[in-house]
């Protein structure tokens, strides 16, 4: 027996002693196992059968109404030194963290089955992939992990060969928000999550492992674990460039990753291939370029707003073999959500009550679909390549109703890291709490970085070692609003125009105007043929508002200072360089 199997068996025994389950089931990931779990969940009401003619193999899960999103205020990073977790994380000492949560786990699986779920994040045969084991008492979690990760026997076989694996312990507990914690122990490669069945809190391979624990591991091993989609942009010459893009939760990563080019572009032969829609692990290859894999095997996407016009590829992907969570249903039992725009209407809302628009939306704003990436019509064949895909451009973006133009390019890597560090966005329904509040969300990692942001930015800067051939960095803002409060940019497929300009820049073919905030596209080089834009849109999407940016840079300076002496001087110098450039062009 390999040493990791011995360690795994020992841990399973320990957990069983603590939690006291009635039975232990080791998951092999097979169809037979899944069918039995689904039948059991159908019998006890955890899963509700949807219309099997229109949506074969698809199910609805209604969660506890108090358990519908990530809970950032209950999410902790437990490092020996508080400063290692940083001001960006809630912190507890490892001893306190274990004690707090172990008290909850004590005896919590009595009367339940404990599932042992071995999984691999990334293609089974990729050196970039990493394994973990989630122990859970939720069959719904098992069914979702089977879609979202490479789960079961092949992962167990890989764990046998590995030096380490991430240990994740999960129980839905009583689903009591007062008895809920999502604890991370990066130094021990351990996660303990209690009291929630919601994806981001309970599918431990996703945010807990692939971002919080992996970001910590990545720092010590010289790679990056990021909250980014990965797409391949194929031009009419058949050349594909890969782009990784970080946007906060529920800001359109899935839509961009599955983009359908506008008509004219399609006719010319442009295509977008999806490698991933949420998480990207990348590492410098022997040629110095960054190579990326999507550690996930499925999509846990936001349902509302997904339609045949906004994201036809997602809609096709979820026509079968999909678990829907917290959506509404139609009279003939089809899943329904706000913005599906399919001519149908809901009769039952996400809480299982008769739909009443004055009471609540049919689908929860953070309702989700879980589906295998293999069902996506534009899933990239390269997504399974163990070597990963070479990244040509990194994109940062958030919801910025004012100030921030449609797109700009960072002048170099250090500037790009500052642009990522300064990212701001309005909050969304993906996390509990107020929606639409502006906050800094560096690199879309605010809820997910498993260590001090100051050290994280230093790690990003360290990749620029003079040998690596790093991607260009851009910032986009699809969410700029006009005086009437409406979006100025049409978004969705039209975003391809911006991606085309970026690749033009990468290939040194497209032009830009240098400004203190970065390089803005020349309107000759960004193809706007066929897009109707108001004069206000043309002015604001490509503008550079000097006083507004001076205030923004001052606020960025204050933000960096908030991290104290650990903040890399190079980033503070970069902020100062831009402030000086802004002041230099101040009209006297
Ligand atoms: C997600 C999130 O579920 O970011 O991807 O919340
Ligand atoms: Mn996400």
| Residue to probe by mutation, ligand 1, list 250, 280, 431, most atoms within 8 Å of CB | 250
User: In 535-568, which ranges are continuous DSSP H helix?
Assistant: 535-541, 546-561
- Residue 238 zone, left/alpha/beta (φ > 0; ψ -120 to 50; rest): left
Do 304 and 367 lie in one domain? The reply is yes
Do 32 and 167 lie in one domain? The reply is yes
**Tokens of residue 284, six digits:** 């410098």
Do 343 and 485 lie in one domain? The reply is no
**What is the SS3 assignment for 33?**
helix
Model-wide pTM > 0.95:
yes
- What per-residue confidence (pLDDT) applies to 588? 57
- What per-residue confidence (pLDDT) applies to 1? 47
User: Of all protein residues, whose CA lies closest to atom 1 belonging to ligand 1?
Assistant: 249
- What per-residue confidence (pLDDT) applies to 412? 98
- What per-residue confidence (pLDDT) applies to 586? 74
Q: Which atom of ligand 1 is nearest to the CA of 248?
A: 4
Do 332 and 463 lie in one domain? The reply is no
CA 264 – CA 256 distance, rounded (Å): 18
Do 291 and 312 lie in one domain? The reply is no
Q: Could you tell me the sign of the dihedral formed by the alpha carbons of 382, 419, 306, 503, in that order?
A: negative
With respect to residue 118, please indicate whether it lies within any of the assigned structural domains.
yes
Neighbours of 77 (CB within 10 A): 26
Do 107 and 200 lie in one domain? The reply is yes
Q: What distance, in Å, lies between the first and last C-alpha atoms of the chain?
A: 76
- Mean pLDDT (10-residue bins), the chain, 588 residues: 84 98 98 98 98 98 97 97 98 98 98 98 98 98 98 97 95 97 98 97 98 98 98 98 96 96 96 98 98 98 96 98 98 98 98 98 98 98 98 96 96 98 90 88 97 98 96 97 96 97 98 97 92 94 94 96 97 98 84
User: Of all protein residues, whose CA lies closest to atom 3 belonging to ligand 1?
Assistant: 200
The answer to whether 193 touches 84, Cβ cutoff 8 Å, is no
Do 349 and 208 lie in one domain? The reply is no
Do 251 and 316 lie in one domain? The reply is no
**Tokens of residue 303, six digits:** 């349902």
Query: In which element (H, E) is residue 126 found?
Result: none
Of the three residues 375, 392, 419, the one that is the final residue of a domain is 375
CA 501 – CA 186 distance, rounded (Å): 39
**Tokens of residue 117, six digits:** 């779920």
Domain containing residue 519: CATH number: 3.90.228.20
The tally of domains found in the chain comes to 3
Neighbours of 64 (CB within 10 A): 15
Q: Which atom of ligand 1 is nearest to the CA of 447?
A: 4
With respect to residue 359, please indicate whether it lies within any of the assigned structural domains.
yes
With respect to residue 577, please indicate whether it lies within any of the assigned structural domains.
no
Do 311 and 351 lie in one domain? The reply is yes
Q: Which atom of ligand 1 is nearest to the CA of 253?
A: 5
Give the range of the structural domain holding residue 283, as residue numbers without chain letter: 229-296+384-544
Residue 75 Cα to ligand 2 middle (Å): 15
| Residue to probe by mutation, ligand 1, list 63, 72, 200, most atoms within 8 Å of CB | 200
CB within 5 A of ion ligand 2: which residues? 249, 278
User: Of all protein residues, whose CA lies closest to atom 2 belonging to ligand 1?
Assistant: 249
User: In 73-134, which ranges are continuous DSSP H helix?
Assistant: 82-85, 94-105
Q: What angle in degrees, to the nearest 10, is found between the helix axes of 546-561 and 569-584? A: 160
Closest CA to 305 of 252, 345, 249: 252
Q: Which atom of ligand 1 is nearest to the CA of 431?
A: 6
Of the three residues 528, 544, 560, the one that is the final residue of a domain is 544
**Tokens of residue 34, six digits:** 């899944």
Residue 504 Cα to ligand 1 middle (Å): 31
The answer to whether 193 touches 168, Cβ cutoff 8 Å, is yes
Domain containing residue 160: CATH number: 3.40.449.10
With respect to residue 348, please indicate whether it lies within any of the assigned structural domains.
yes
Residue 398 Cα to ligand 2 middle (Å): 13
**Block residue for tokens 């260590």:** 451
**Tokens of residue 55, six digits:** 């949506």
| Residue to probe by mutation, ligand 1, list 226, 278, 399, most atoms within 8 Å of CB | 278
Do 411 and 499 lie in one domain? The reply is yes
| Residue to probe by mutation, ligand 1, list 197, 207, 301, 369, most atoms within 8 Å of CB | 207
Q: Which atom of ligand 1 is nearest to the CA of 278?
A: 5
Enumerate residues lining ligand 1, CB below 6 A.
Answer: 70, 199-200, 249, 278, 300, 430
User: Of all protein residues, whose CA lies closest to atom 4 belonging to ligand 1?
Assistant: 249
| Cβ burial, residue 7 (10 Å; 0-12/13-18/19+) | middle
CA 506 – CA 494 distance, rounded (Å): 20
CA distances from 95 to 92, 101, 217, 304, 361 (A): 8, 10, 21, 41, 43
Residue 181 Cα to ligand 1 middle (Å): 17
Residue 298 Cα to ligand 1 middle (Å): 13
Do 292 and 302 lie in one domain? The reply is no
Number of helices and strands (H, E) in the chain? Answer: 17, 30
Closest CA to 336 of 301, 303, 299: 303
Instruction: Write out the catalytic residue numbers.
Output: 251
Residue 246 Cα to ligand 2 middle (Å): 9
Residue 469 Cα to ligand 1 middle (Å): 30
**What is the SS3 assignment for 421?**
helix
**Tokens of residue 237, six digits:** 């010459």
CA 517 – CA 536 distance, rounded (Å): 21
Do 216 and 291 lie in one domain? The reply is no
């Amino acid at each position: 027996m390999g040493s990791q199997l011995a360690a795994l068996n020992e841990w399973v025994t320990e957990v069983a002693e603590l939690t006291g389950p009635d039975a232990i089931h080791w998951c092999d990931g097979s169809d037979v196992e899944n069918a039995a779990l689904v039948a059991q969940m159908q019998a006890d009401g955890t899963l509700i059968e949807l219309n099997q003619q229109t949506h074969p193999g698809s199910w609805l899960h209604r969660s506890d109404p108090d358990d519908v999103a990530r809970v950032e205020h209950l999410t902790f990073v437990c490092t020996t030194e508080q400063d290692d977790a940083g001001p960006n994380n809630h912190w507890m000492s490892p001893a306190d963290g274990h004690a707090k949560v172990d008290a909850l786990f004590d005896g919590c699986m009595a009367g339940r089955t404990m599932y042992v779920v071995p999984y691999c994040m990334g293609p089974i045969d990729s050196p970039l992939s990493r394994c973990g084991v989630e122990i859970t008492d939720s069959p719904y979690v098992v069914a979702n992990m089977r879609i979202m990760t490479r789960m079961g026997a092949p992962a167990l076989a890989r764990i046998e060969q590995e030096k380490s694996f991430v240990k994740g312990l999960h129980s839905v507990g009583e689903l009591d928000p007062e008895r809920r914690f999502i604890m991370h122990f990066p130094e021990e490669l351990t996660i303990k999550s209690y009291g929630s069945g919601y994806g981001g809190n309970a599918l431990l391979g996703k945010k807990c492992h692939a971002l919080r624990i992996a970001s910590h591991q990545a720092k010590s091993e010289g790679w990056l674990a990021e909250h980014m989609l990965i797409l391949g942009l194929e031009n009419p010459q058949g050349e594909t460039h890969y782009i990784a893009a970080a946007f906060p939760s529920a800001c359109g990563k899935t839509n961009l990753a599955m983009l359908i080019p506008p008509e004219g572009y399609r006719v010319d032969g442009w295509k977008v291939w999806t490698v991933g829609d949420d998480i990207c692990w990348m590492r410098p290859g022997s040629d110095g370029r960054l190579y990326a894999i999507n550690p996930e095997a499925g999509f846990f996407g936001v349902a509302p707003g997904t339609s045949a016009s906004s994201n036809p590829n997602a809609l096709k992907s979820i026509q079968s073999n999909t678990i829907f969570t917290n959506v509404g249903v139609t009279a003939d039992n089809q899943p329904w959500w706000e913005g599906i725009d399919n001519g149908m209407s809901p009769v039952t809302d996400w809480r299982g009550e008769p739909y009443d628009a004055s009471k609540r939306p049919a689908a929860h704003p953070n309702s989700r679909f879980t589906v295998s990436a293999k069902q996506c019509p534009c899933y990239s064949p390269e997504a399974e390549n163990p070597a990963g895909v070479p990244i040509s451009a990194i994109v940062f973006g958030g919801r910025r109703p004012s100030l921030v133009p449609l797109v700009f390019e960072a002048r170099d890597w250090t500037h790009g890291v500052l642009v990522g560090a300064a990212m701001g966005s309005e909050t969304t329904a993906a996390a509990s709490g107020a929606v639409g509040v502006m906050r800094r969300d560096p690199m879309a990692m605010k809820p997910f970085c498993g260590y001090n942001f100051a050290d994280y930015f230093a790690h990003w800067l360290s990749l620029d070692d003079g040998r690596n051939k790093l991607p260009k960095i851009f910032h986009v803002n699809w969410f700029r609003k006009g005086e009437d409060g409406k979006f100025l940019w049409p978004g969705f497929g039209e975003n391809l125009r911006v991606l085309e300009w970026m690749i033009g820049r990468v290939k040194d073919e497209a032009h830009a105007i240098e400004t203190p905030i970065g390089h803005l596209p020349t309107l000759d080089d960004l193809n706007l043929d066929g897009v109707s834009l108001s004069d206000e849109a043309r002015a604001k999407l490509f503008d550079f508002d000097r006083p507004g940016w001076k205030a923004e840079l001052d606020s960025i300076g204050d933000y960096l200072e908030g991290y104290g002496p650990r903040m890399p001087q190079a980033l503070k110098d970069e902020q100062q360089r831009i402030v000086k450039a802004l002041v230099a062009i101040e009209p006297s």
